[in-house]
Homo-oligomer: A and B are copies of this chain.
Amino acid sequence: MEIEINTPILELNARHAESNRQLLAKEQVYMLDIMASPGAGKTSCILSVIDRLRSQLRLAVIEGDVASDVDAQRIKQAGLTAVQINTGGACHLEAMMIARALDALSLSEIDFLIVENVGNLVCPTEFDLGEHARVVILSVPEGHDKPQKYPGIFASADAIVVNKIDTLPLFDFDMAVFKETVKAMNPTAPVFTVSARTGEGMDDWCEWLANQVADVVG
């Protein structure tokens, strides 16, 4: 029943995603979709990436939230352009919302557009936004068993980031088990271990990101 009901929404979404993809290709903008649980540190990671890449790339951010503009304010304080999308209750971003945000941005002045999805490990997975890649961020306090419980998002990600590794001594997070589980469901996605707070591991992830962007922006 659920598939039947969702099909028209997903078909409509796919059309908008395709049109976003064409626009981004034409304007030579690389778009990354960042997905995670609430509180995994998406905005902090984005700020850390901005810090490291802003000297070589022109960045902008689309912030997706059910409500509030707390995150967009943080990005703007860093001196970046941020478009806030309030989903008004919806648990994920859709391609049509991104289309409106792309309209509001000066794409010719952007190389690397980061989309922060709504904090949710389930629903955003289903919705293609027209992005070039998807990254899922898991934070150490959430526990290493999350890929077993939310397999869809971990299986479909292009890269997986484990954040808050500075708190590893405090939590029972078994990194070896985590990496093994992820490898079994998604053998090609690299796993980056970082701390947005201390900066540990951010250079490796940013190098991967910069290479991804370079492939598109040239």
Specify which chain B residues have a CB less than 8 angstroms from the CB of A9 in the assembled complex.
5
Taken residue by residue from 116 to 142, chain A's Cβ proximity to chain B (1 for < 8 Å, 0 otherwise) reads as: 001111110000000000000001011
Report the separation of the CA atoms of residues A151 and B9 in the bound assembly, to the nearest whole angstrom: 25
Residue of chain B at shortest CB distance from A150:
B66
Residue of chain B at shortest CB distance from A2:
B90
Contact A66–B142 (Cβ < 8 Å): no
Contact B38–A68 (Cβ < 8 Å): no
Contact B67–A150 (Cβ < 8 Å): yes
Contact B122–A39 (Cβ < 8 Å): no
- In-complex Cβ contact of A91 among B68, B91, B142, B164 (8 A): B91
Specify which chain B residues have a CB less than 8 angstroms from the CB of A145 in the assembled complex.
68, 70
Contact A67–B151 (Cβ < 8 Å): yes
**Contact (A152, B89) CB under 8 Å given A39-B141, A139-B39, A167-B170:** yes
Specify which chain B residues have a CB less than 8 angstroms from the CB of A121 in the assembled complex.
38, 119-120
Q: How far is the CB of A66 from chain B (nearest CB, A)?
A: 6
- Output the residue of A122, A123, A170 with the most chain B CB within 10 A: A122
| A111 at the binding interface (Cβ < 8 Å) | no
Q: How far is the CB of A187 from chain B (nearest CB, A)?
A: 19
Contact B122–A66 (Cβ < 8 Å): yes
- In-complex Cβ contact of A146 among B39, B123, B141, B150 (8 A): B39
Taken residue by residue from 173 to 207, chain A's Cβ proximity to chain B (1 for < 8 Å, 0 otherwise) reads as: 00000000000000000000000000000000000
Q: How far is the CB of A20 from chain B (nearest CB, A)?
A: 19
- In-complex Cβ contact of A38 among B66, B150, B164 (8 A): B150
| A26 at the binding interface (Cβ < 8 Å) | no
Chain A residues within 8 Å of B, Cβ to Cβ: 2, 5, 9, 37-40, 65-68, 70-71, 89-91, 118-123, 139, 141-143, 145-146, 148-152, 164, 167, 170
